[in-house]
Amino acid sequence: MSTIACLVNNVGMGLPTALFAGEVNSPNEESIRKIIDCNILSTVMMTSIILPKMLTQKGPNPGIINIASYAGLKVFPYATVYASTKASIIHFSKCLAAEKYKKNVIIQAICPLFVSTKMSNSMKTTFFIPTAEVFAKSALDMFGVEQRTSGYIRHDLKAYLYDLLPTSVRMLIIKAIANSSRKKV
C-alpha cells in the first residue's frame, strides 16, 4: 500500500421504527449490539487501522469521511439507537479533527437527511431526496470545505427549514414519518 488518499466510513444500519422499549418490535440486546458494532465500532476500527499510514504520508492531504446522519444532530424519536450511534460518529469526527488539525489530515462528518438507498427502502427521489449517486457526487464536492456538512445543498435547505420549526412541530413530523415507515414494514 503506497498511499491512501481517502477513507470513507459509510456504514449504517437501523431497526424498524419503534419505541425504544415496550413494543413487540422494540430492539433486543443482540440487535442493539449489531447496530453499535456496525455504526460505531466499524468506523472507529477502520480509522484506527488506516490513520497511522495517513499520518506518515507525504503529498496531498489525505482525508477521512465519516457518514453520520441528520438524525445524529437532533432528537429523533422511534430511531433512538440509530440516532444515538450517528451522534457518536459526529462527535468522534469532531474529536479526531481536534487531534489531527496540525497533521494535515482532513476529517469530515457528513450528516445527510434522506437519500434513496436500499436502507431507506429505495424511497422515491424528490427535490429533497436524491439518488445515492447524486448524493455521493455532491458530498465529494464538499470534501475539505467544512468539517461537518449535510453533503447536499438541498439537505442544508431542508435542515434549515426544520430548524425554524418549534421542536414540538418537528417531533410531530418525525413521528408521522416513523408511523409511515412502520406501516411499510
Could you give the CA distance from residue 113 to residue 73 in angstroms, rounded to a whole number?
11
Could you give the CA distance from residue 6 to residue 100 in angstroms, rounded to a whole number?
15
Give which of 82, 74, 89 is closest to 20, Cα–Cα: 82
Give which of 44, 16, 10, 41 is closest to 28, Cα–Cα: 16
Residue owning grid cell 431542508: 158
Residues acting as catalytic residues = 82
Half-sphere exposure of 76 (CA within 13 A, CB side): 21
> Contact, 9 vs 66, CB < 8 A?
yes
